Amino acid sequence: MKLTGAQIVIQSLIKEGVNIIFGLPGGAIIDVYDALYDSPIKHILVRHEQAAIHAADGYARATGRVGVAMVTSGPGATNTVTGLATAYMDSIPIVVFTGQVPTKLIGNDAFQEADIVGITRPCTKHNFLVKDVNELAKTIKEAFYIAGSGRPGPVLIDLPKDVQQAKAEFEYPKEVRLAGYNPKYKAHIGQVKKAAQLIASARRPVIYAGGGVIYSKGANEELRRLAEGFSMPVTNTLMGLGGFPGDHPLWLGMLGMHGTYRANMAVIHCDVLIGIGARFDDRVTGKLEEFAPDAKIVHIDIDPASISKNVIVDVPIVGDCRDALLKLNQALSNINIDWEDKHRDWLEQIEEWKKEHVLSYSQPEGGPLKPQYVIEKLYELTKGKAIVSTEVGQNQMWTAQYYKFDRPRTFLTSGGLGTMGYGFPAAIGAQAAFPEKLVIDIAGDGSIQMNIQELATAVSYRLPVKVAILNNGYLGMVRQWQQLFYRGRYSQTSLEYSPDFVKLAEAYGAVGLRATKPDEVEATIKDALSKDVPVFIDFVIEREENVYPMVPAGAPLSHMLLV
Partner 1 sequence: MRHTISLLVENIPGVLARVAGLFSGRGFNIESLCVAETIDPKISRITLVTNGDEQIIEQIKKQLNKLINIIKVVDLSEIESVEREMALIKVRAAPEHRAEILRIVDIFRGKVVDVSPDYYTVEITGDANKLQAFIELLRHFRIKEIARTGTVALPRARKAFKEKGEE
Ligand X SMILES: Cc1cc2nc3c(=O)[nH]c(=O)nc-3n(C[C@H](O)[C@H](O)[C@H](O)COP(=O)(O)OP(=O)(O)OC[C@H]3O[C@@H](n4cnc5c(N)ncnc54)[C@H](O)[C@@H]3O)c2cc1C
Tell me which residues are annotated as active site.
Answer: 49, 111-112, 161, 477
Mutual orientation of helices 49-63 and 81-89 as an angle, nearest 10°? 20
CB of 540 to ligand TPP, least distance (A): 12
User: What three-state secondary structure class fits 226?
Assistant: helix
State which of residues 18, 163, 317, 477 lies at the interface with ligand TPP (CB under 6 A).
Answer: 477
Binding mask 14-33 for ligand X (x = CB under 6 A): --------------------
Q: Is 212 in the site for ligand X (CB under 6 A)?
A: yes
Binding segment toward ligand TPP, per CB under 6 A, in 54-62, 117-125, 221-229, 470-478? 470-478
- Taking alpha carbons only, the member of 64, 172, 54 closest to residue 448 is 54
Separation CA 311–CA 326 (nearest Å):
25
Interface stretch with partner 1, choices 83-91, 301-309, 338-346, 347-355 (CB under 8 A): 301-309
Single out the residue of 34, 303, 314, 544 in contact with partner 1 (rule: CB under 8 A).
303
The footprint of ligand TPP on residues 371-430 (CB under 6 A) is: 391-395, 418-420
Of 306 and 413, which has the nearer Cβ to partner 1? 306
444 binds, among ligand X, ligand TPP, partner 1, none (CB under 5 to 8 A by kind): ligand TPP
The binder of ligand TPP chosen from 170, 474, 501, 536 (CB under 6 A): 474
| Cβ–Cβ < 8 Å for 446, 472 | no
Query: Smallest gap, in angstroms, from Cβ of residue 155 to partner 1?
Result: 9
Residue type, 190: G
Gap between the Cα atoms of 465 and 430, Å rounded? 9
Answer for the pair 190, 278: CB distance below 8 angstroms, yes or no: no
Which stretch in 11-19, 22-30, 167-175, 280-288 sits in contact with ligand X by CB under 6 A? Answer: 280-288
Query: Within 89-118, which residues bind partner 1 (CB under 8 A)?
Result: 117-118
Stretch that binds ligand TPP, among 91-99, 196-204, 441-449, 525-533 (CB under 6 A): 441-449
* Residue 304 binds to partner 1 (criterion: CB under 8 A): yes
Reference 327, options 185, 232, 459; nearest CA is 185
State yes or no: residue 321 binds ligand X (CB under 6 A). Answer: yes
Identify whether 102 is preceded by a cis peptide bond (ω within 30 of 0).
no
Residue 75 neighbours by CB under 8 Å, 6+ apart: 112, 114
Number of residues that bind partner 1 (CB under 8 A): 18
| Alpha helical stretches, state H, 216-320 | 219-229, 261-269, 282-285
**Which one, 321 or 448, has the nearer CB to ligand X?**
321
Instruction: State the binding string over 439-478 for ligand X (x if CB under 6 A, else -).
Output: --------------------------------------x-
Asked if residue 86 binds ligand TPP (CB under 6 A), the reply is no
CA atoms within 13 A of residue 337's CA, in its CB half-sphere: 21
Closest to ligand X by CB, 25 vs 243, is 243
Answer yes or no whether residue 285 interacts with ligand TPP by CB under 6 A.
no
Pick left, alpha or beta for residue 135 (phi over 0 → left; psi -120 to 50 → alpha; otherwise beta).
Answer: alpha
Q: Applying CB under 8 A, which part among 119-127, 191-199, 294-302, 552-560 lies near partner 1?
A: 119-127
Q: Are strands 2-4 and 167-169 parallel, antiparallel or unpaired?
A: antiparallel
Paired residues of 557 in beta bridges: none
Are the beta carbons of 126 and 152 closer than 8 angstroms?
Answer: no
Q: Should residue 181 be labelled a site residue for partner 1 when binding is judged by CB under 8 A?
A: yes
267 lies in the binding site for ligand TPP (CB under 6 A): no
Q: Which is nearer to partner 1, 309 or 559 (CB)?
A: 309
Stretch that binds ligand X, among 31-39, 383-391, 392-400, 432-440 (CB under 6 A): 392-400
Strand order in the sheet with 234-236: 251-254, 234-236, 205-209, 272-276, 296-301, 315-318
| Cβ contact 181:155 at 8 Å | no
The candidate with the shortest Cα–Cα distance to 524, out of 499, 547, 541, 544, is 541
Torsion of CA 71, 72, 76, 78, to 10 degrees: 90
Residue 256 within binding range of ligand X, rule CB under 6 A: yes
Q: What share of the chain is helix, strand, coil (3-state, %, to 5)?
A: 40, 20, 40
251-254 and 272-276 as β-strands: parallel, antiparallel, unpaired? Answer: unpaired
Q: Provide the minimum distance between the beta carbon of 208 and ligand X in the complex, in angstroms, as a whole number.
A: 8
Closest CB 183 distance from partner 1, rounded Å: 10
- 3-class SS at 344? helix
CA pair distance 540, 121, nearest whole angstrom: 42
- Binding residues for partner 1 (CB under 8 A): 117-118, 121-122, 125-126, 129, 146, 178-181, 303-305, 308-309, 312
Binding residues vs ligand TPP (CB under 6 A): 391-395, 418-420, 444-447, 470, 472, 474-478
Report the interface residues with ligand X, using CB under 6 A.
Answer: 90-91, 151, 210-212, 215-216, 237-240, 254-259, 277-279, 281, 283-284, 301-303, 306, 320-321, 392, 396-397, 415-416, 418, 477
